[in-house]
């Protein structure tokens, strides 16, 4: 046996060396699933003598696919030829060969969310619809729901039907019918596919054409799937049609199913075992990431879920520091505590800023955090913003490259016809679009009509500028035909003087991103010498996240738990552990917290050495209109498993504006009267911090008070010691 097996524990080796057939690996957090999956690929080619080109490895991000490919190649040079990719890249590969059977041209373009949004806005304009009647966001979500559920809109006409689609009323249902028909028409005419089309069209072909399904099943004789818990029903149907002789190896963790909101199917493991009853099931439960104390908290929490495959994570790591819990009276207390603790960790040289992450349930938690992090002069970066390929300057260049391949690509033409500025404004573009729709011509055909003097339309006033643009486009296409991919982009940049354009608009620093794209093209060409520009464009259309969370910069990382999945840090702060936040408001309301508990479990298991949980209790939550109280998850973990930290840092909004001594112990019970004073609306009161004011409203245990010193109404719990009648 090869040396790569020597680095595996018993369960990992059992998984890697298993016989052919269906295998389900339940891999807990930090148990080395990627190493196990990669080692399995090596075993298939080196010990079982499978041909690499007959092996398909499916992951859920292109980044993960690239990393797995690189790791496999480092372990064995016999893995060249193994196909690594996502479901979307697999579907793109199949559709390039087979989409013509659906009456579509294989020369399709894949559009991302931003392109979809632009197309929908054009449709609203052409149909004369008002965004207030139906938001574009809701329209796109409804279109996705219609496609994924193969809904026949002709049968939908009642109020209940509208509700099934997530719409408010029949009026919105009538609007979506027209929008959907026009959307499909435009996608067909422009030969565009969105991400849902990639999956749906592939499923349709494989289900309706057995000979095609058999062809690809014979090609992919062995299939491995990573992050199986994130698989949705459509992806599972595609997988079933491709599996050859039950030779499938899936790896995942039911306890990390946190994407049901975007289609992940929570019962996928049960369905897999039902589909393949002879499945060999192996559990990986030895965690290599977390300390014993962190794992104890994670296990205690997730054990409260019923819909799971039972396992208990173990580790040979040290006990580590006890998991610390802090509960303040507001999110300001939380933010201040986190900042003070980070400064303490840095001062005591326990870690660097880059070793620390702050995780939260949703992005709206960052406002207060950012304010206090800035006040404490802590370097930080918020992850989950605009990724590289979604940046405006990158999309500009991608649009130019797309026009080299397909000059009549309307979305690309519209994007860059006035970039850099060519005096072809939005009004002119809208007029050209309207003329094209009315006369059943493409946008590109209509542009060329501007050269004909016999055409009497308003937009001919810009004919000289349009003509210059068309001449430029022709020149770019002709002059770049024989150039390398990266040189094509360099030539475009020079011809349009894009760097100068960015500088003139105060965006000169963005040119560094464009240079990164040139470098990316050069690397792509080196690694894929046979691929064309079109292959490159299709591939990057599938990239949903190219941002590296393991940055070399020495900054604290702020991110949602969903974004943090797949990462690890020495020190993790999980903030917002309150009812209505984690678990979320709706989960709390309907007492359906299994996925919320899985989200908290994923957050906890990002921590390697130290974990801090923070909450707030007693303040007023304006969303739920209730008193904030700590998350039920704290009770489920058990106070005996947590080190309670009662240190309270003073808010920067206090009157004396001095920082509280963090060594001082505070008893929160002393802040409140044990006997509630019965205040009434319009009573005059005084407060130790805000001074005098009048009660303008009462909501349960909370008073809404307009203080003379404050512009906004303050909400204060009515039995706080700092609040008195004004005598």
Specify the pLDDT at position 460.
63
User: Residue 719 above 60 pLDDT?
Assistant: yes
Worst-scoring range by mean pLDDT, 125-139, 278-292, 707-721? 707-721
- The phi, psi pair for 566, rounded to 5°, reads 95, -5
- Please tell me the distance from the alpha carbon of residue 683 to that of residue 588, in angstroms, as a whole number: 35
Q: Are strands 691-699 and 702-707 parallel, antiparallel or unpaired?
A: antiparallel
Specify the pLDDT at position 675.
44
Residue 303 CB burial class (10 angstroms; 0-12, 13-18, ≥19): middle
Catalytic residue among 12, 31, 34, 172: 34
- The C-alpha angle 533, 537, 543, rounded to 5 degrees, equals 145
Mean pLDDT of 302-306: 91
Three state DSSP letters for 336-378: HHHHHHHHHHHHCCCCCHHHEEEEECCHHHHHHHHHHHHHCCC
Residue 705 β-bridge partners: 695, 714
Residue 550 CB burial class (10 angstroms; 0-12, 13-18, ≥19): exposed
Specify the pLDDT at position 646.
61
In tens, the pLDDT along 473-486 reads: 999 999 998 899 98
Alpha helices in 406-532 (DSSP H): 410-416, 426-438, 443-449, 463-479, 485-496, 498-504, 511-527
Specify the pLDDT at position 627.
65
- Based on the residue annotation, tell me whether 280 is a catalytic residue of this protein: no
H or E element: which one contains 14? helix 10-16
Specify the pLDDT at position 663.
36
Which is more confident, 521 or 710?
A: 521
Question: pLDDT grade, residue 674 (50/70/90)?
Answer: very low
Q: DSSP letters of 258-312? A: --GGGTB-TTHHHHHHHH-TT-EEEEE-B-SSS-HHHHHHHHHHHTT-SSS----
Residue 513 CB burial class (10 angstroms; 0-12, 13-18, ≥19): middle
Catalytic residue among 606, 609, 632, 718: 606
Worst-scoring range by mean pLDDT, 407-421, 646-660, 707-721? 646-660
- The C-alpha angle 316, 321, 323, rounded to 5 degrees, equals 105
User: Residue 72 above 80 pLDDT?
Assistant: yes
Residue 449 β-bridge partners: none
Residues 172, 162 contacting (CB under 8 angstroms): yes
| Residue 532 zone, left/alpha/beta (φ > 0; ψ -120 to 50; rest) | beta
Mean pLDDT of 365-389: 77
Which is more confident, 381 or 598?
A: 598
- Based on the residue annotation, tell me whether 33 is a catalytic residue of this protein: yes
- Please tell me the distance from the alpha carbon of residue 192 to that of residue 3, in angstroms, as a whole number: 48
User: Residue 220 above 90 pLDDT?
Assistant: yes
Rounded percentage of the chain residues whose pLDDT exceeds 90 = 42
In tens, the pLDDT along 2-25 reads: 577 888 999 999 999 999 999 999
Catalytic residue among 31, 33, 231, 460: 33
- Please tell me the distance from the alpha carbon of residue 182 to that of residue 468, in angstroms, as a whole number: 32
Residue 358 β-bridge partners: 558, 573
Specify the pLDDT at position 648.
44
In tens, the pLDDT along 437-473 reads: 888 888 888 888 766 655 666 666 677 888 889 899 9
Question: pLDDT grade, residue 292 (50/70/90)?
Answer: very high
**Nearest Cα residue to 341 out of 610, 665, 569:** 610
- Please tell me the distance from the alpha carbon of residue 167 to that of residue 278, in angstroms, as a whole number: 44
Residue 2: how many CB atoms within 10 A of its CB?
Answer: 12
- Please tell me the distance from the alpha carbon of residue 303 to that of residue 636, in angstroms, as a whole number: 9
**What's the N-to-C CA distance of the chain in angstroms?**
88
User: Residue 547 above 50 pLDDT?
Assistant: no
Catalytic residue among 226, 253, 355, 396: 226
* pTM of the complete model: 0.73
Question: pLDDT grade, residue 544 (50/70/90)?
Answer: very low
| Residue 704 zone, left/alpha/beta (φ > 0; ψ -120 to 50; rest) | beta
Residues 294, 45 contacting (CB under 8 angstroms): no
- Please tell me the distance from the alpha carbon of residue 258 to that of residue 266, in angstroms, as a whole number: 9
- Based on the residue annotation, tell me whether 227 is a catalytic residue of this protein: yes
Worst-scoring range by mean pLDDT, 251-265, 279-293, 555-569? 251-265
The size of the chain, in residues, is: 727
Question: pLDDT grade, residue 653 (50/70/90)?
Answer: very low
Question: pLDDT grade, residue 673 (50/70/90)?
Answer: very low
**Nearest Cα residue to 583 out of 563, 565, 598:** 598
Bond into 583 cis (ω within 30): yes
Residues 607, 390 contacting (CB under 8 angstroms): no
Q: What tokens does 690 get? A: 């805000």
Residues 616, 328 contacting (CB under 8 angstroms): yes
In tens, the pLDDT along 241-280 reads: 999 889 999 999 999 988 887 777 888 999 999 999 999 9
Worst-scoring range by mean pLDDT, 248-262, 655-669, 710-724? 655-669
Catalytic residue among 59, 235, 256, 480: 256
Worst-scoring range by mean pLDDT, 91-105, 518-532, 605-619? 518-532
User: Residue 341 above 90 pLDDT?
Assistant: yes
In tens, the pLDDT along 152-184 reads: 888 888 888 888 888 888 899 999 999 999 999
Query: Quick check: helix, strand or coil at residue 324?
Result: strand
In tens, the pLDDT along 313-328 reads: 999 999 999 999 998 8
Query: Quick check: helix, strand or coil at residue 392?
Result: helix
Specify the pLDDT at position 459.
64
Mean pLDDT of 55-84: 89
Mean pLDDT of 646-666: 36
Specify the pLDDT at position 464.
81
Q: What is the pLDDT of the chain when averaged over all its residues? A: 84
Rg (CA), the chain: 29
User: Residue 666 above 50 pLDDT?
Assistant: no
Q: What tokens does 140 get? A: 């796109």
Q: What tokens does 660 get? A: 């509280």
Cβ within 8 Å of residue 643, ≥6 positions away: 321, 322, 323, 324, 325
- Based on the residue annotation, tell me whether 34 is a catalytic residue of this protein: yes
């Amino acid at each position: 046996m090869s040396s790569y097996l020597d680095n595996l524990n018993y369960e990992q080796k059992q998984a890697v060396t298993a016989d052919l057939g269906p295998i389900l690996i339940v891999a807990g957090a930090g148990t080395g699933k990627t190493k196990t999956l990669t080692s399995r690929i090596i075993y298939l080619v080196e010990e079982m003598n499978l041909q690499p080109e007959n092996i398909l490895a499916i992951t859920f991000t292109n980044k993960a696919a690239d990393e797995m490919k690189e790791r496999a190649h480092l372990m064995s040079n016999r893995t060249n030829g193994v196909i690594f990719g996502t479901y979307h890249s697999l579907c793109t590969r199949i559709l390039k060969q087979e989409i013509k059977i659906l009456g579509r041209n294989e020369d399709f373009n894949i559009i991302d969310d931003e392109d979809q949004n632009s197309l929908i806005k054009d449709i609203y304009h052409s149909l004369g619809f008002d965004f207030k009647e139906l938001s574009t966001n809701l329209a796109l979500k409804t279109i996705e729901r219609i496609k994924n559920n193969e809904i026949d809109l002709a049968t939908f006409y009642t109020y209940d039907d509208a509700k099934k689609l997530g719409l408010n009323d029949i009026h919105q249902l009538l609007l979506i019918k027209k929008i959907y028909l026009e959307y499909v028409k435009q996608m067909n005419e422009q030969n565009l596919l969105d991400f849902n089309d990639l999956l749906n069209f592939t499923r349709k072909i494989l289900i309706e054409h057995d000979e095609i399904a058999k062809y690809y099943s014979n090609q992919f004789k062995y299939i491995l799937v990573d992050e199986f818990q994130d698989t949705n029903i459509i992806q599972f149907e595609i997988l079933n049609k491709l599996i050859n002789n039950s030779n499938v190896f899936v790896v995942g963790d039911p306890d990390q199913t946190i994407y049901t909101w975007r289609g992940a199917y929570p019962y996928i493991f049960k369905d897999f075992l039902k589909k393949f009853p002879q499945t060999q099931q192996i559990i990986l439960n030895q965690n290599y990431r977390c300390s014993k104390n962190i794992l104890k908290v994670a296990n205690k929490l997730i054990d409260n879920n019923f819909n799971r495959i039972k396992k208990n994570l173990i580790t040979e790591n040290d006990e580590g520091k006890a998991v610390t819990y802090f509960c303040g009276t507001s999110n300001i207390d939380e933010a201040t505590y986190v900042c003070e603790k980070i400064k303490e960790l840095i001062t005591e040289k326990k870690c660097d800023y880059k070793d620390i992450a702050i995780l939260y349930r949703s992005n709206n938690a960052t406002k207060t955090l950012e304010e206090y992090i800035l006040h404490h002069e802590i370097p930080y970066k918020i992850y989950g913003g605009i990724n590289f390929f979604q940046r405006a300057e990158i999309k500009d260049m991608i649009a130019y490259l797309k026009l080299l391949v397909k000059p009549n690509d309307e979305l690309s033409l519209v994007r860059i016809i006035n970039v850099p500025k060519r005096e072809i404004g939005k009004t002119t573009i809208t007029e050209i679009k309207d003329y094209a729709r009315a006369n059943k011509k493409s946008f590109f055909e209509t542009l060329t009509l501007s050269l004909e003097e016999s055409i009497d339309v308003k937009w001919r006033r810009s004919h000289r500028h349009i003509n210059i643009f068309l001449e430029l486009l022709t020149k770019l296409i002709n002059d770049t035909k024989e150039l390398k991919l990266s040189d094509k982009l360099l030539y475009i940049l020079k011809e349009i003087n894009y760097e100068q354009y960015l500088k003139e608009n105060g965006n000169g620093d963005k040119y560094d991103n464009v240079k990164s794209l040139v470098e990316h093209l050069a690397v792509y060409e080196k690694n894929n010498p046979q691929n064309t520009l079109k292959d490159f464009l299709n591939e990057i259309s599938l990239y949903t996240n190219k941002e590296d969370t393991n940055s070399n910069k020495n900054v604290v990382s702020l991110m949602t738990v969903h974004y943090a999945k797949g990462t690890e840090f020495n020190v993790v702060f999980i903030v917002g552990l309150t009812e209505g936040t984690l678990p979320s408001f709706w989960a709390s309301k309907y007492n359906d917290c299994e996925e919320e508990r899985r989200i908290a479990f994923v957050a906890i298991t990002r921590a390697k050495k130290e974990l801090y949980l923070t909450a707030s209790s007693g303040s007023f939550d304006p969303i739920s209109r209730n008193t904030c109280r700590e998350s039920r998850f704290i009770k489920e973990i058990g106070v005996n498993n947590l080190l309670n930290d009662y240190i309270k840092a003073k808010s920067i909004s206090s009157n004396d504006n001095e920082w509280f001594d963090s060594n001082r112990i505070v008893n929160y019970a002393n802040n409140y009267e044990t006997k509630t004073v019965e205040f009434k609306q319009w009573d005059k009161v005084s407060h130790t911090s805000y001074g005098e004011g009048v009660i303008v409203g009462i909501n349960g245990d909370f008073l809404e008070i307009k203080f003379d010193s404050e512009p906004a109404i303050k909400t204060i719990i009515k039995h706080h010691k700092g609040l008195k009648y004004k005598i």
